[in-house]
């Protein structure tokens, strides 16, 4: 793999993103009790379309062509919230995810937001620990904003185990 560049997602590329998300999920095959995540539903097309319309969808491309990762987010009054970040299994560990996170952070700053938030799996090197390296901190349940509590409950309704999930914030 050669150079990785981050750029805004083109409308024609949204059809490629489910395959990237499925490939990224293969990392869960190595996590006892979470192997089933590989067969979990991917992000709906409508969510990708909304992120694209809002200017909150970016892709990581390798050699100026192949899409190897993406991040989509949504905007709130005080924050940008990462909805999904996925890097294809063969491209993981090469910096694409870190570059995508940095892009969201820079965009949130440009939008005048106070923070970037997300939900993720606890204690995994490619989830919570990955985000900690970029400065995100876990939000204690008692200090969690209602919108993040609702996001975690929604994820629970989709089958994600609440006891293995957390919300995180990076203050800007």
CA triple 31-32-34, angle to 5 deg: 70
Q: Rounded to an integer, what distance in angstroms lies between the CA atom of residue 115 and that of residue 172?
A: 5
- Name all contacts of 53-56 with Cβ < 8 Å and 24+ positions apart: 55/8, 55/107, 56/80, 56/104, 56/107
Show me where the domains of the chain are located.
4-171
pLDDT in tens, 65-101: 799 999 999 999 999 999 999 999 999 999 999 999 9
Look at the domain 4-171 and name its fold.
Answer: Aminopeptidase (3.40.630)
Residue pair 38/133 in contact (Cβ under 8 Å)? The answer is no
Q: Rounded to an integer, what distance in angstroms lies between the CA atom of residue 137 and that of residue 11?
A: 33
Provide the whole-model pTM.
0.94
Residue pair 166/120 in contact (Cβ under 8 Å)? The answer is yes
Q: Which residue has the tokens 């996925």?
A: 86
Percent of the chain past pLDDT 70, that is, above it, reads: 98
Q: Give me the tens of pLDDT residue by residue for the chain, a chain 172 residues long.
A: 468 999 999 999 999 999 999 999 999 999 998 898 899 899 999 999 999 999 999 999 987 679 999 999 999 999 999 999 999 999 999 999 999 999 999 999 999 999 999 999 998 989 999 999 999 999 999 999 999 999 999 999 988 899 999 999 999 9
């Amino acid at each position: 793999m050669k150079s990785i560049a981050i750029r805004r997602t083109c409308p024609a590329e949204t059809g490629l993103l489910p395959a990237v998300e499925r490939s990224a999920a293969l990392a869960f095959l190595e996590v006892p009790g979470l192997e089933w995540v590989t067969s979990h539903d991917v992000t709906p097309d409508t969510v990708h379309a909304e992120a694209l319309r809002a200017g909150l969808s970016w892709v990581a491309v390798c050699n100026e062509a192949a899409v190897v990762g993406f991040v989509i987010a949504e905007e709130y009054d005080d924050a940008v919230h990462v909805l999904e970040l996925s890097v294809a299994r063969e491209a993981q560990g090469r910096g694409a995810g870190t570059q995508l996170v940095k892009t969201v952070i820079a965009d949130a700053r440009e939008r005048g937001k106070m923070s970037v938030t997300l939900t993720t799996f606890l204690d995994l090197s490619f989830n919570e620990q990955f985000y900690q390296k970029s400065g995100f901190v876990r939000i204690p349940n008692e200090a969690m904003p209602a919108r993040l509590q609702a996001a975690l409950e929604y994820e629970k309704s989709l089958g994600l185990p609440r006891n293995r999930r957390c919300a995180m914030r990076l203050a800007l």
